[in-house]
Amino acid sequence: FWGATVINNLMSAVPYIGQMFVEWIWGGFTINNSMLNRFFSLHSILHLIIMLLVTLHFFSPHLSGSSNPFGTNSNIYKIAFHPYFTIKDMLGFMTIILIYLMIILQMPYYLSDPDNFKIDNSMSTPIHIKLEWSFLFAYLIL
C-alpha cells in the first residue's frame, strides 16, 4: 500500500483544499479497503473521461472549423475528408487497443513488476523504488 500512501500524502499537501480533498474523496488518511476501492475506481474512470475529452477535441476542428486571429470564415477551407480521416484514425486506434488487450488478457502479469505484490512498510520507501531527481519537488513535499 506504499503507492496509495504516497498519493494520499501528496494530495493532502495541496494548500487550502488538500486535507478536505483527502477526507472527502478517500475517506480519511488511513489506507484501507474502502479507500483503495475508491482510488482504483477513480483511477479507471479518470482515464475514460480524459480519452473522451481528447476525442472531442480532435473532432471539433472537423465539425465546426478552426478559429483564426482575423475572424474570417474558415468554412470555405474545410475539406470533406472528415469521414475518411476518422475511419483511418479509428482503425489505427482499434489495432493498438486490440494488441494491448491481447497482451493484457492472455498474459496479465507480463508487463508488471514482481515486487509490486509484496506488502511493504508504508513508513519507508520500498527497495525497488528508485529515487529520481525529476521528482525532487514531490520528495520535498513528502
Instruction: Cite the active site residues.
Output: 62, 66, 88-89, 132
C-alpha cell at 1: 500500500
Task: Say if residues 38 and 26 touch (Cβ distance below 8 Å).
Answer: yes
Q: What SS3 state is found at 41?
A: helix
Cα 6 from Cα 142, distance rounded (Å): 8
Amino acid at 42: L
The DSSP-derived string for 92-114 is HHHHHHHHHHHHHHH-TTTTS-G
C-alpha cell at 90: 479509428
